[in-house]
Amino acid sequence: MDDKETTTARKLETSAIALFARKWYSSVSIAEICRHAGVSNGIFYKYFPNKEAMVRRILEDAIGRIEATLEKVSGATPRERIGSMVELVASFSADNPDLVSVFREGQYRYFEYERRLMELYRRSLGKALGRRVGIAEYLYAFGGLRFASIRAALHGSAVSLGALSLFICDGIFTGLDWSAEKIFSITVRPSPINLGEESRERLVRAGKKLFGEKGYHEVNIHEVTDAAGLSVGAFYRYFQSKDAFFEELIESSGRQIRHFIQDNLSPGLNRLEREMQGIYLFGVFLSLDRWCYNIVREGEFVAPAKAREYYAAFVRGYRKSGSEGMDAGRVASDPLYEDTAVEFMMGISHYYGIEVIFDDSPHNARNIVETIGKHLAAGLLPGA
């Protein structure tokens, strides 16, 4: 393409990024993108055969820009390189919130791009540490770092970059030991089944499966009522609209996940053991019921306010434990230390959940959680 064509294509991509970040992929039309870019509809097809091709181009560009950012990691020691990496990743998210938002939706819809980004991050982490890293080390370091950086950029969550570096290098629950038998030798109790479902519960159960399988945009109210064996009128007795119904599915999904974990947590665990068992149970839940995950992830784009409530409920749960098990000196010296630890640990679980959903290898779960536990206790640079 010549310079003029390149400029036009870039203008279309920039407009698409702005629109996708404000709304969501399926609700933005090619006509809207062209209006925003100030070009005619026909111009779009000169550069892209369809909307999906444009999205994939944007995702490719995002990966390329992240790769270029990671190449700037510097430092004479692994600890210095980790600190540099944390600053660069956090700055990229802060400087490119719209692109990050679009990639999060692309990560959900086109998982191969998430897999490529994961491998890029693993290579970067290995280069910083001077050794090969496995999936558990990636989940520990970049699960926490990515999630905290994204939440800071998109939702204004307060995080400390210094604390993030310390978590990666030294761990969060330094000095705590854990017992594999306590954590993994448990009998998991499934969520209770309501044998006397009311109409509302039947609608929610049917909707959860349909929206989880097909996605918000592909499901209509008639399909939900047919699956529930109820009339459309029955639907509107409980829900004002499809949007309101989907928001109920998000809230219900979060409640089910939290109750499942809480009901199965063993008594007598220390703070590190509770975190490890919680991660493990989260994976067990998702392996049994992936629809909850799909609904919440799509909710981030379809019903962002309700999805934020979902994450806020988990934040409140973490805060109940306070700074238990953390280094008192570090907590006292950094007012954002505890909040950053919450974001970091939520990120580990979030990206671990992605692995459970898409990797389909639950047999690795225990090994992964055990390795994450070692890093929660001592970081990736124990003794360094």
* pLDDT tens readout for residues 302-328: 899 999 999 999 999 999 988 999 999
Tell me the CATH number at 249.
1.10.357.10
Neighbours of 199 (CB within 10 A): 16
pLDDT band for 64, please (50, 70, 90 cuts): very high
- Cα–Cα dist 173/166, whole Å: 11
374 found inside a domain: yes
- pLDDT beyond 70 at 104: yes
Residue 361's pLDDT is 55
194 found inside a domain: yes
Tell me the CATH number at 42.
1.10.10.60
231 found inside a domain: yes
Measured between its terminal Cα atoms, the distance across the chain in Å is 51
The per-residue pLDDT for range 139-188, each reduced to its tens digit, is 999 999 999 999 999 999 999 999 999 999 999 999 899 999 999 999 99
Work out the average pLDDT over 121-142.
97
On whether the CB atoms of residues 345 and 163 are closer than 8 A, the answer is: no
Biggest CA–CA distance in the chain, Å, is: 68
- pLDDT beyond 80 at 135: yes
Q: Which of 53, 56, 33, 43 is nearest to 5 (CA)?
A: 43
Residue 138's pLDDT is 97
- pLDDT beyond 80 at 193: no
On whether the CB atoms of residues 58 and 102 are closer than 8 A, the answer is: yes
What single-letter DSSP state applies at residue 265?
Answer: P
Which distant-in-sequence residues (6+ apart) come within 8 Å of 308 by Cβ? 155
Tally of domains within the chain: 2
115 found inside a domain: no
Rounded (5°) CA angle 230-296-184 = 110
- pLDDT beyond 70 at 196: no
The per-residue pLDDT for range 272-291, each reduced to its tens digit, is 999 999 999 999 999 888 89
pLDDT band for 383, please (50, 70, 90 cuts): confident
Residue 5's pLDDT is 60
- pLDDT beyond 80 at 3: no
Percent of the chain with pLDDT over 90: 82
286 found inside a domain: yes
Q: What is the pTM of this model?
A: 0.93
Pick 27 or 96 by higher pLDDT.
96
Residue 337's pLDDT is 98
Residue span of the structural domain in which 265 resides: 180-378
What amino acid occupies position 229? G
**In the block, which residue shows the tokens 């003029």?**
4
Work out the average pLDDT over 111-133.
96
356 found inside a domain: yes
Residue 216 sits in the same domain as residue 358: yes
Residue 42 sits in the same domain as residue 184: no
Of 34, 49, 64, the last residue of a domain is 49
275 found inside a domain: yes
- Cα–Cα dist 98/16, whole Å: 10
- pLDDT beyond 80 at 192: no
Residue 15's pLDDT is 96
Residue 363's pLDDT is 62
Mean pLDDT of the chain: 93
The per-residue pLDDT for range 21-49, each reduced to its tens digit, is 988 788 899 999 999 999 998 999 999 99
- pLDDT beyond 70 at 362: no
Work out the average pLDDT over 251-271.
95
Work out the average pLDDT over 75-82.
98
Residue 234's pLDDT is 93
pLDDT band for 195, please (50, 70, 90 cuts): low
Phi, psi of 32 (to 5 degrees): -60, -45
140 found inside a domain: no
- Cα–Cα dist 15/91, whole Å: 22
